[in-house]
Amino acid sequence: MEREVSDSDFRLFVKTVRQYSKYDFSDYSDKSLKRMVGKVIADKKTDINRLVRDISNYSDYLESIINKVTVNTTELFRDPSVWKFLRKKVLPGLKTWSTINIWHAGCSTGQEVYSMLILLNEAGLFDRARVIATDINSEVLKVARSGKYRYRFNKGYLENFDLVVGRSRDKSTGAANVPYSRYLDVDEERDIISIKPFLLEKPVFKKHDLVAGEVSYPGKFDLIICRNVVIYFNHSLQNRIFEMFCNNLHPGGILVIGSHETIASPVSDRFIRTGHAYKKPGIF
Amino acid sequence: MYKAIIIGGSAGSFQVVARILNALNSDFPVPVLLILHRLKHVRSGFVEALSIKSSIPVREPDDKDYIRPGFAWLAPSNYHLFVELGNRFALSTEPQVNHSRPSIDLSFFSAAKAYRQDLAGIILSGANRDGAGGLKMVGDMGGTTIVQDPNECQVPVMPLESMKITKVQHVYNTEQIIRFFKKIQGNAQI
């Protein structure tokens, strides 16, 4: 049950990973990662010495371990109140822009990427959006690209959809509700929720380690969504990442973080906060 | 002197927590950590409902907030809550543990390691096994272990599971738990 590794074993793991790969976990918040490393050791019925020996000898094994220790969960419209806020208060402000450049940093299995695309489509902004979605974990990116999720375990997705989108008047048909079937196919028998192909085609999913810095992209972003990702980093790394986000936003661009995350001073001085959105001040 | 008190509860624990928080003085000297199972989307009302009864402010911590006294820190729903180095909270969205997020066990483990003998862990009414391993860890690290008297619990499974796997130091009813808090308050004033 309690599988956290000791401090010294954990340091050995971090040091070995840093030595034999481009990944640096030194500034991760230790609690979760210690547990995940402990879990890997238990699942693989190995011990820390064999683990570090094997990751230093086989780079694809190292990669598979990275994929195991960096898995985190996400949902379609996780925190409906945040998505309602984005829909009502943030998206209307993007309507004057000809292109909307969006970066989902740490997108995991992609549910929030599709949540945003649904909102953009409802707002009539879908065609103008250019979306890049990144994660350190190549396995979660495969799931994200497929846009297929378990149904029975995730019935909450449909409730969330209703709270954020479904209960509003359908602008295209005039009907009282927006049906989820516009965006999702539900196959109860096979236990699958699938994202519709027109949504799948939009985002470019790409492997990228936030700790390593900026993502390569032609130009800056209008919207950066990074929710429940930096909670895995220590305080100083969080500050560095938020600063990097600020530098990668256009003036007037917006950063959206998790509902229990905060940007600390002095980096917070570079943003104007409204609800869950941090805006980089515009030129005027 | 305790550095923190951590309480785990599930079904049937809300009223007990409310009574405890109501009985505290507003200058209660130790941070109180509340790890309570609750419905994922019933989010807004819960803090308010507890706050009305509580003598100290009830807060859901943000990630990396300092763990300060003077507050009851309620684990946000749909996150795990850890005590980190440097006396800060850390949140995570790792998968559920024992079908729970927040997991009482995970929070108790991290608090037990951070505070060792300076921690009191309390398991209240609840219908599952979450928290039993956590309370054991609190005891193993030298902290004080308390369960709500199963005879008084609406749902006694959580205290009973705890008592099964570890020798719990105190089996208290709500009144006795309140007296435990009052004693901490009194000791701080001497």
pLDDT band at A2 (very low <50, low <70, confident <90, very high): low
Among candidate residues B10, B103, B107, B110, the one labeled active-site is B10
Tokens at A110, concatenated: 């992609």
| Domain span holding position B111 | 4-189
B65 is catalytic: no
Domain definitions of chain A by residue range: 7-69, 80-147+201-279
Between the ranges A87-101, A260-274, B146-160, where is the mean pLDDT highest?
Answer: B146-160
| Whole-number Å distance between alpha carbons of A145 and A175 | 31
Mutate to test the interface with B, among A30, A79, A231, A234 (most CBs of B within 10 A): A231
Please tell me the total count of domains within chain B: 1
HSE of B13 in the Cβ direction (CA atoms, 13 Å)? 26
What is the reported pLDDT for B1? Answer: 87
What is the reported pLDDT for A173? Answer: 78
CATH number at residue B183: 3.40.50.180
What is the reported pLDDT for A30? Answer: 82
Mean pLDDT of B149-172: 97
Tell me the three-class secondary structure of A181-193, residue by residue.
HHCEEEECCCCEE
| Whole-number Å distance between alpha carbons of A210 and B70 | 36
State whether residue B99 is helix, strand or coil: coil
Our CA-based measurement puts residue B24 at a distance from the nearest CA of chain A, in whole angstroms, of 27
| Whole-number Å distance between alpha carbons of B112 and A40 | 23
| Whole-number Å distance between alpha carbons of B54 and B71 | 10
ipTM: 0.88
| Whole-number Å distance between alpha carbons of A232 and B178 | 36
pLDDT band at B146 (very low <50, low <70, confident <90, very high): very high
Q: Is the CATH number 3.40.50.150 carried by domain A80-147+201-279?
A: yes
Cis peptide before A266 (omega within 30 of 0): yes
The answer to whether the CB of B6 falls within 8 A of the CB of B122 is yes
Chain A residues within 8 A of B64 when measuring between CB atoms: 29, 231, 234-235, 238, 262, 264
Mean pLDDT of B160-171: 97
B105 is catalytic: no
- How much of chain A is in helix, strand and coil states, percent to nearest 5? 45, 20, 35
